[in-house]
Amino acid sequence: MELSIRGILRGFGLKVGPVTRKNFEARIRELIAGQPTLESIARAMLSARSALKAEYGRLHKAVLTIVRDDAVCRRLMTVPGVGPLVAVTYKSAIDDPHRIAKSKAAGALFGLTPKKYQSGEKDVTGGVTLAGDEMVRTVLYEAANVLLSRITRFSKLKRWGIDVAKRRGSKRAKVALARKLAVILHRIWVDGTTYRWAEAATIAT
């Protein structure tokens, strides 16, 4: 919605510029002041934006309530990059962690392992398989992105991701890190442990 508003105003030569989510609406009203057509358009869109924000807030609180009362989700959230949404999505998708014999298989379950094509002398490794639950795959990828780009606290997990990024590029590093997160989350769930920032050994995928 915010991008749509920016796009409309740009067509009239009005640039919103860098703003925070808090002062976005004030900036828009400042730009459209005295322009009846833009005021009517922007007023409706700002109203829709406010409604979406309110509904999002309610849903976010509901997720936080679920996580607060769930011991497994709280343990999963000790892993860097893993927030309430990632924890509850992962837990809901797996349901019973013991149906996965080995934690290493968690990455493949959500389509985060490379495709393999073998025929005769051909042995081709392609992109990830994209098998399994797309929502879990998406949140794990976002968790990997957060870990690499936003979290400043050091962890061996982040160091591992940075090393992969240097060798293979940022996108592949995020996929590899998402796969590793799937494995670590499963291991923590089964073992009943939490992530140890200072001494956690990364789990081979």
Identify whether residues 54 and 84 lie together within a single domain. no
pLDDT tops 90 at residue 118? no
Total domain count, the chain: 2
Half-sphere exposure of 188 (CA within 13 A, CB side): 27
Q: Does some domain include residue 197?
A: no
Split at pLDDT 50, 70, 90, the class of 128 is confident
The pLDDT of residue 202 is: 42
Identify whether residues 150 and 105 lie together within a single domain. yes
Question: What DSSP string runs through the chain?
Answer: -HHHHHHHHHHTT----S--TTTHHHHHHHHHTT-HHHHHHHHHHHHHHHHHHHHHHHHHHHHHHHHHT-HHHHHHTTSTT--HHHHHHHHHHHS-GGGSSSTTHHHHHTT-SEEEEEETTEEEEEEE---S-HHHHHHHHHHHHHHHHT--S--HHHHHHHHHHHHH-HHHHHHHHHHHHHHHHHHHHHHT----TTTPPPPP-
Q: Does some domain include residue 24?
A: yes
Asked if 136 and 149 touch (Cβ cutoff 8 Å), the reply is no
Give the end of a domain, one of 24, 45, 66.
66
Identify whether residues 60 and 80 lie together within a single domain. no
Q: Does some domain include residue 77?
A: yes
Q: Does some domain include residue 122?
A: yes
Identify whether residues 7 and 24 lie together within a single domain. yes
- Closest to 24 in 3D by CA, of 16, 15, 32, 12: 16
Q: What is the pTM of this model?
A: 0.76
Model pLDDT for residues 159-176, shown as the tens digit of each residue:
999 999 999 999 999 999
Identify whether residues 105 and 130 lie together within a single domain. yes
Asked if 113 and 107 touch (Cβ cutoff 8 Å), the reply is yes
Beta bridge partners of 119: 122
The pLDDT of residue 117 is: 57
Identify whether residues 54 and 116 lie together within a single domain. no
Q: Does some domain include residue 141?
A: yes
- Closest to 185 in 3D by CA, of 95, 113, 111, 106: 106
Identify whether residues 166 and 83 lie together within a single domain. yes
pLDDT tops 70 at residue 205? no
Give the end of a domain, one of 45, 66, 87.
66
Give the end of a domain, one of 37, 66, 95.
66
Split at pLDDT 50, 70, 90, the class of 116 is low
pLDDT tops 90 at residue 72? yes
Model pLDDT for residues 8-26, shown as the tens digit of each residue:
999 999 999 999 989 999 9
Split at pLDDT 50, 70, 90, the class of 204 is very low
Model pLDDT for residues 25-50, shown as the tens digit of each residue:
999 999 999 999 999 999 999 999 99
Q: Does some domain include residue 201?
A: no
Model pLDDT for residues 135-163, shown as the tens digit of each residue:
999 999 999 999 999 988 888 999 999 99
Question: CB under 8 Å to 60, separation ≥6 — which residues?
Answer: none
Residue showing tokens 């808090």: 22
Model pLDDT for residues 47-68, shown as the tens digit of each residue:
999 999 999 999 999 999 999 9
Split at pLDDT 50, 70, 90, the class of 126 is low
Full domain range(s) for residue 8: 2-66
Q: Does some domain include residue 198?
A: no
Identify whether residues 106 and 81 lie together within a single domain. yes
CA–CA separation, 134 and 140 (whole Å): 10
Identify whether residues 46 and 140 lie together within a single domain. no
Q: Does some domain include residue 199?
A: no
Question: Mean pLDDT across the stretch 119-134?
Answer: 69
Identify whether residues 174 and 105 lie together within a single domain. yes
Identify whether residues 131 and 79 lie together within a single domain. yes
Identify whether residues 20 and 84 lie together within a single domain. no
Split at pLDDT 50, 70, 90, the class of 193 is very high
